[in-house]
Amino acid sequence: MLFHQRAKMQGHELVEGYTGRFVHGEAITVAHWDVVAGNRIPSHAHHHEQIVNCLEGTFDMTVGEETFRMTAGDTVIVPPDVEHSALAVTDCRCLDVFTPVRDDYRL
Amino acid sequence: MLFHQRAKMQGHELVEGYTGRFVHGEAITVAHWDVVAGNRIPSHAHHHEQIVNCLEGTFDMTVGEETFRMTAGDTVIVPPDVEHSALAVTDCRCLDVFTPVRDDYRL
């Protein structure tokens, strides 16, 4: 299926305050996140390259030892196997991209 | 460089009415597009997988023989080597994702 309409996609709250809608291509997964202020993603790592895009709100991304304060239109690259964590400073919308596909997000 | 702030990124009008800001990881390119209503992307194809995300506005994506009318939050997958074209029905913001990296977008 090529066309994925938000209105028809179910959200999944994978971490408290982080509700995602996921689209999987052959080699890319896109995750559309709605995030509630004050909630954190604990530090973790994975073999996928990840690119985080802040669409709305203020979102702190920590990659390795550095923390980046993101606002709308900002992008952070998370290289493969690098520890990262996050904090929603305000309510946010974020769009994450992964390669290869996140099979654990096939829900 | 991991952190890319929109305010510090230069836009490039690659096609009339399509101004992009590009971020390149190891295997992923993200393109943030600001699009002026009425402008088209002519039909073309490339070996990269592409995932198109409409963030704002109304955007018609044609993939092969099918046209999808996208609004905010909608996603269209363009498989590798499949002809596709687009029309901005209104002013739009779109976020495209590609793998492998779009070396032609290193500007």
In 3D space, the residue among B32, B36, B22, B42 whose CA is nearest the CA of residue B94 turns out to be B32
Mean pLDDT over B88-94 rounds to 98
What string of H, E and C letters represents the secondary structure of chain A? CCEECHHHCCCEEEECCEEEEEEECCCCEEEEEEECCCCEEEEECCCCEEEEEEEECCEEEEECCEEEEECCCCEEEECCCCCEEEEECCCEEEEEEEECCCHHHCC
**Best residue of B77, B78, B96 to probe chain A, by most A CBs closer than 10 Å:** B77
Searching chain A, which residue's CA lies closest to the CA of residue B70? A5
The pLDDT score that the predictor gives to residue A19 is: 98
Q: Note the pLDDT tens digit of each residue in B6-44.
A: 999 999 999 999 999 999 999 999 999 999 999 999 999
Confidence of residue A96 (pLDDT cuts 50, 70, 90): very high
**Which amino acid, residue B7?**
A
The verdict on a CB contact (< 8 Å) between B76 and A6 is: no
Contacts of B26 in chain A (CB under 8 A): 49, 79-80
Interatomic CA distance for residues A82 and A43, integer angstroms? 10
Interatomic CA distance for residues A80 and A98, integer angstroms? 10
Contacts of A63 in chain B (CB under 8 A): 2
- For B15, the token pair is 């096609």
Mean pLDDT over B96-100 rounds to 98
The single residue listed with the structure tokens 């070396």 is: B103
The verdict on a CB contact (< 8 Å) between A76 and B4 is: yes
Tell me the sheet residues that pair with B93: B34, B56
Residue B76 three-state SS:
strand
Give percent above pLDDT 90 in chain B.
99
The pLDDT score that the predictor gives to residue A5 is: 98
Over chain B, what is the mean pLDDT? 98
The pLDDT score that the predictor gives to residue B12 is: 98
Confidence of residue A85 (pLDDT cuts 50, 70, 90): very high
Q: How far is B99 from chain A (nearest CA, A)?
A: 7
Q: Note the pLDDT tens digit of each residue in A44-82.
A: 999 999 999 999 999 999 999 999 999 999 999 999 999
DSSP class of residue B74? -
pTM for the full model?
0.97
